[in-house]
Amino acid sequence: MEPLTALGARDADRADAVVIDGYAMSYEQLLGAARAVAARIAGAPAVAVNATAAPHTAVAVVAGLLAGVPVVPLAPDSGPAERGHVLSDSGAALVLHGVGEPDDVFGGVATLAVDPAERGEFGGKEPAADATALVLYTSGTTGPPKGALMSRRAIAACLDGLAEAWEWTADDTLVHGLPLFHVHGLVLGLLGALRTGSRVVHTGRPTPQAYAAAGGSLYFGVPTVWSRVAADPAAARELAGARLLVSGSAPLPAPVFRDLAALTGQSPVERYGMTETLITVSTRAAGDRRPGAVGLPITGVRTRLAGEDGSPVPHDGVSVGELHVSGATLFDGYLNRPEATAASATADGWFRTGDMAVIEPDGVHRIVGRASTDLIKSGGYRIGAGEVENALLDHPAVREAAVVGAPHPDLGQQIMAYVVADGVSEQDLIGFVSDHLSAHKRPRIVRFLPELPRNAMGKPLKKLLPPLEGPSGEGSGGRG
């Protein structure tokens, strides 16, 4: 049970060791239910799990780990085409789902209802450390979703590195309300607790009120969750007794960082990772917490910055490069995609994240955006959209911001900002950014929108932003 060492630890009979949307289980009960399922799925090439925020998801995932059967988490809100692709591509022989959940939406794949109240025994052998534990499907922004093969060893290395960085122990109570079909909610938010032995409370929906009532020492959230918590001062103050507030999956706006610090008495910890790498970089519990910074590589991980020609980029806090990662937490490749796997690595074996970053002289990392959408080349400068977005969000009238590069006949690209704001003009915001950043990083165009298009994790979908109207270089006008 390499990734699940805490299931046999002290307090295994604590009745509320695992609480998911109000349903409580002890480690002992979770293990008994998982053994019953493991006995049924043993020998399967892979099983999918309809990963709703419900207790059957925890039981099913643990069952797969016990049986050595790769688990394929299915997003419960995925459409028929995406769901069909994942089931076909993964070769899942069964779909595990909750009792009473519909079982006729999986395209003819056999199903098995998982009852958390069931108990059973399983005597299978311990799977090898390099065996595939999870097949995590990417978001599919550049084509159909690809299945990233995550080994038991990689998951264990990630969780041990984070336990060290965050001083995460069996004495903690972890609280979160994140989806259980991706790295943040499933690997960190469930398997992390089962490895460290901490109690875990999944709140169902991640509302400020639910977080405030949970009484945790360790909280996980995405920026959207933390923004809502900061907007509810009474709920935020209830988190003052927590030991650590962790934010990830998207950059945390600097104003939210500061509001949380003021309301809870502590600055949040930010971390960075990807489906293919798990979590690789994090601020330490005892380290310096800076807005916009994601900290240092965890134990077992190395990072570097590379220019477009592959040359090293200095760690000077200014120069932008693509972040490359190497180490124990990396995936074993994309399922059935040897070409994509090869393309994701450099000639010397480092993983190309596709994210642009800056590394300070002291080694602290700042992620400034995706190379495909957030690296803006303007007048010979390489500018990360994230830095400009954070500057805009520092303006008290700006609630949301997304920055892109728009074509320009002289500069190559010009900085264009989309904002959700009231009572401020285009020129006000251009001047505000100029006062905070270098002049070449100021937006030349600001467009006002009622809201930004976002995905389920709260990340702006820049490809869905309205295109530039009018000749290149012509502003869109402000709104008073």
> Is 480's pLDDT higher than 60?
no
What is the phi/psi pair of residue 432, to 5°?
Answer: -60, -45
Q: For residue 358, what are the β-bridge partners? A: 366
CATH 3.40.50.980 applies to domain 25-151: yes
Lowest mean pLDDT: which of 12-21, 112-121, 294-303, 353-362? 12-21
Q: How far apart are CA 304 and CA 321, in angstroms?
A: 9
> Is 343's pLDDT higher than 80?
yes
CATH number, span 375-464: 3.30.300.30
Across the chain, what does the average pLDDT equal?
90
3-state SS, one letter per residue, for 29-95: HHHHHHHHHHHHHCCCCCEEEECCCCHHHHHHHHHHHHHCCCEEEECCCCCHHHHHHHHHHHCCCEE
Burial code of 111-138, b = ≥16 C-beta within 10 A, e = fewer?
A: bbebebebeeebeeeebeeebbbbbbbb
Percent with pLDDT over 90 in the chain: 71
CA 456 to chain centre: 11
Burial code of 19-31, b = ≥16 C-beta within 10 A, e = fewer?
A: bbeebebbbbbbb
Q: What is the mean pLDDT of residues 418-425?
A: 94
327 sits in which H/E element = strand 321-327
> Is 61's pLDDT higher than 80?
yes
What does the pLDDT read at residue 470?
Answer: 47
What does the pLDDT read at residue 472?
Answer: 38
Alpha-carbon distances of 175 from 198, 203, 204, 218, 395, rounded to whole Å = 10, 7, 10, 6, 31
326 sits in which H/E element = strand 321-327
- Domains 25-151 and 174-335+345-370 are alike in CATH topology: yes
What does the pLDDT read at residue 362?
Answer: 96
121 sits in which H/E element = none
**DSSP of 229-271, one letter per residue?**
HHT-HHHHHGGGG-SEEEE-SSPPPHHHHHHHHHHHSSPPEEE
What is the phi/psi pair of residue 36, to 5°?
Answer: -60, -40
Q: How far apart are CA 147 and CA 136, in angstroms?
A: 5
Q: What is the mean pLDDT of residues 173-197?
A: 95
Burial of residue 399, with CB atoms counted within 10 A of its CB: 0-12 exposed, 13-18 middle, 19 or more buried: middle
Structure tokens at 114: 């998982």
CA geometry: angle 148, 149, 153, nearest 5 deg: 130
What does the pLDDT read at residue 78?
Answer: 83
Radius of gyration of the chain (CA): 23
What pLDDT band is residue 376 in, cutting at 50, 70 and 90?
Answer: confident
What does the pLDDT read at residue 72?
Answer: 98
pTM of the complete model = 0.84
> Is 469's pLDDT higher than 70?
no
**DSSP for residue 184:** I
Domain boundaries, the chain: 25-151, 174-335+345-370, 375-464
Alpha-carbon distances of 318 from 156, 356, 438, rounded to whole Å = 34, 12, 11
Coil, helix or strand at residue 164: helix
Q: What is the mean pLDDT of residues 217-230?
A: 93
Burial of residue 175, with CB atoms counted within 10 A of its CB: 0-12 exposed, 13-18 middle, 19 or more buried: buried
Tell me the CB-side half-sphere exposure of residue 238, using CA atoms within 13 A.
15
Q: What is the mean pLDDT of residues 394-404?
A: 91
CATH superfamily ID and name for 174-335+345-370: ANL, N-terminal domain (3.40.50.12780)
What pLDDT band is residue 478 in, cutting at 50, 70 and 90?
Answer: very low
Residue whose tokens read 């507030």: 245
What does the pLDDT read at residue 254?
Answer: 85
Q: Which residues contact 336 (CB under 8 A, 6 or more apart)?
A: 89, 147
What does the pLDDT read at residue 68?
Answer: 96
What does the pLDDT read at residue 479?
Answer: 30
> Is 5's pLDDT higher than 70?
no
What pLDDT band is residue 3 in, cutting at 50, 70 and 90?
Answer: low
Per the CB < 8 A criterion, the answer to whether 426 and 446 are in contact is yes
Per the CB < 8 A criterion, the answer to whether 286 and 167 are in contact is yes
What does the pLDDT read at residue 390?
Answer: 84
What pLDDT band is residue 456 in, cutting at 50, 70 and 90?
Answer: low
Among 84, 73, 281, residue whose Cα is nearest residue 191: 73
Alpha helices in 401-444 (DSSP H): 426-436
Coil, helix or strand at residue 272: strand
Residue whose tokens read 């949380």: 260
